[in-house]
A and B are shown apart, each in its own frame.
Chain A
Amino acid sequence: MKRIVILDYGLGNLRSVQKGLEHVGSSPAISGDPGEILAADGLILPGVGAFVDAMKCLDPIKGTIEEYARSGKPMLGICLGQQVLMSSSEEGKLTDGLNLIPGKVLRFPKSELKVPHVGWNNIKIKQDHPLFEGIPDNSFVYFVHSYYVDTASENTLASCNYGLDFSASVVNSKGNVMGTQFHPEKSGAIGLKILKNFIDMC
């Protein structure tokens, strides 16, 4: 059995992610212990809440996450967990992220569109990658966020449009550090398939 760790850094609703992973045949551990993180075959960074708070909570284990990412083993950030993978965010005050993937986190500009972006929106798959294996282009997934990731096309696995095109899923150059802005654990069968794909990569 592959060892999947859901990173517990004091934020976010870990339960949904855990149930989603269990549904696709994994039995993940919830842990913030550096030893357990480094021993994992797959690491998940969940997260809801504010960027600044998340980075504060991540500070003690930042080095561990960086070491894990360098190992080449798969890791997946979800929602705010994707945003913290990036270089910086303008949420609150300009704050450095983990910088595992180059790019910025920006607020949706003022427009007639409501912020947060809440609900089911379709994604355009931009690259062949095992995370999106078997996922049809234009699939609907569930989003809830006020900030979005702006990164280069080579770091974008899938995009979504809400007033502007943004990165709905990101990847580093090595291909092992991934993120989704949407919640796969809340995106029905499509989301579960994406979680299954992640487990298969581990």
Chain B
Amino acid sequence: MLTKRIIPCLDVTLDRAGGCVVKGVEFVDLKEAGDPVELAKRYNEEGADELVFLDITASAQGRKTMIDVIERTADEVFIPLTIGGGINSIDAIRQILRAGADKVSVNTSAVKNPDFIKESSDIFGAQCIVTAIDCKRNTDIKNNPDKTILELEDGTPAWYEVVIYGGREATGIDAVQWARRAEELGSGEILLTSMDRDGTCAGYDLPITKKLSEELDIPIIASGGVGNPQHIYEGFSIGKADAALAASIFHFREYSIKEVKEYLREREIPVRL
């Protein structure tokens, strides 16, 4: 039986030598918790199904360091590795894959130039191209008759607006329509992050997760908001996601991946244990 995937996400800043994982580790020893390759190894041993590295520096110097981090990780970790953050050219994708990554996630560059999805999918194959969609709830439905209206938890109608540049810029684009287009253009998977939930530990944004999971034929990776194993369970049971991405609950060692998987298995979610 195909299992649901648990994917730890490592936000990596490359301003210091060797790179450093930053998200959710403000209160612990940076040096110890921070080496991306060491964390990747630990998650692999704990039973992670895949790994995602997000380059949050995305400067020219940072890109070089990221290649080094990918190479060192791929030398020791033999599970799928996805790289995201500022990827905007075929050449960048080629370098990242050559270093040992399996997939790239594209976000802002794809919104600005949707053909980038098609072009990269044609060259590298759909299985390589993950379209990351960051979105935000928008309750102004009166002025947006062409948008996909969903019902929020409390019954409020809303649509989900695509945001770019790490959530700093709203685009006016409907997330459901964009996801469908990204699938048509050749994305292999969608990595969905709700900015309303990211960093809140309040759980995934279930209405949009469920909508995309049911609407699309490609796998949906839920992201943003996980605070405990129950949230991951809900992402699968209510949100119908194919994979669950989480960062801080794993970095903080609040829960190990194995604990989360055992929790899921007790609730009859198929997992690899």
Contacts and interface: CB of A to CB of B under 8 A. Distances in A.
B219 A114 contact: yes
Contacts of B74: 15-16, 19
Contact of A114 (B126, B128, B218): B218
Contacts, number: 81
Interface in B105-124: 124
Interface string B137-172: 000000000000000000000000000000000000
A145 B126 CA distance: 10
Interface residues of A, number: 31
Nearest to A20: B78
Contacts of A19: 74-75, 78, 100
A121 B242 contact: no
B235 interface: no
Nearest to A79: B127
Report the 3 A-B pairs with minimum CB-CB distance, sorted nearest first. A140-B272, A120-B272, A144-B127
26 contacts: A15-B74, A15-B99, A19-B74, A20-B78, A23-B75, A23-B76, A48-B125, A114-B218, A115-B217, A116-B218, A116-B219, A118-B242, A119-B3, A119-B4, A119-B219, A119-B243, A120-B3, A121-B3, A122-B1, A140-B272, A142-B79, A162-B2, A185-B78, A186-B79, A188-B79, A191-B78
Given A114-B217, A162-B2, A185-B78, 10 more contacts: A49-B125, A116-B126, A116-B219, A119-B2, A119-B5, A119-B242, A119-B243, A120-B2, A187-B78, A188-B79
Interface of A: 13, 15-16, 19-20, 23, 48-50, 114-122, 140, 142, 144-145, 161-162, 185-189, 191-192
